[in-house]
A and B are shown apart, each in its own frame.
Chain A
Amino acid sequence: MFDAEQLKQAVGDLDEDKVMEILREFVATNPSQEEAQQAVAACQSGMAIVGDLFEKEEYFVGDLIFAGELLTNAIEILKPVLGTASSAKIGKIVLGTVAGDLHDIGKNIFKSMAEAAGFEVFDLGIDQPPANFVNKVREVKPEIVGMSGVLTLALESMKDTVDALKEAGLRDSIKIIIGGNPVTKEACEQIGADAFTTNAAEGVKICQGWVK
């Protein structure tokens, strides 16, 4: 077995060497699927520490990117012992960068943090027209839609996307969060989203609040 607290702290510290060492030793002991799930859970709790430190401005975006990479690598090591058991998801998010905008770094950070928090994320990609959001929402029936954008022109596309979801009769069954450099409270109101953030960790917390 492994020390869950130690693993969680190593992830929180973004101590890559230590995380990998703990996991390699753990995998070498031929753990059960259930034990492997506990290791995943410890890594996810470590990500929550990362999110907290980000909100306290001890960590920055670069650290979130590194944390996402660290978590991906950790899961990769655990895969052989994880088997088919999958942990319960706390909700579904349809996510994408809106039409006209090709940026995806912020979206990807949010995605890895949301997944670490237990969400199932359906990532549409970049430069996504409203119809693609509508179709995916119809298909997977998420609780939440996340729209991302860096350019100011993304705000108009976000509004178009919300309007399209309204027209399709889907707006009332979902919560919408917008994120990225240009979003503000005023823009959020005008777009008709439920929440906005320029901070991926805060965004994940808002989403967790919605599915409680």
Chain B
Amino acid sequence: MIESKYYKTWEQYKAEHPEISEREEKAMAKRMQTYEEMMYGFVMFLLI
């Protein structure tokens, strides 16, 4: 697990955004997390 203000799991993101409805969450969660993971992969690629 990585604790950083520059990387959020969906659960962390959701906790900071109580306005997200369950209906929206279904559509959003996977997609938003994918971008988060892509950015993590990109940043770490810059260090190899």
Q: Answer whether A and B touch in the complex at a CB cut-off of 8 Å.
A: no
Interface set of A (CB-CB < 8 Å, partner B) = none
Interface set of B (CB-CB < 8 Å, partner A) = none
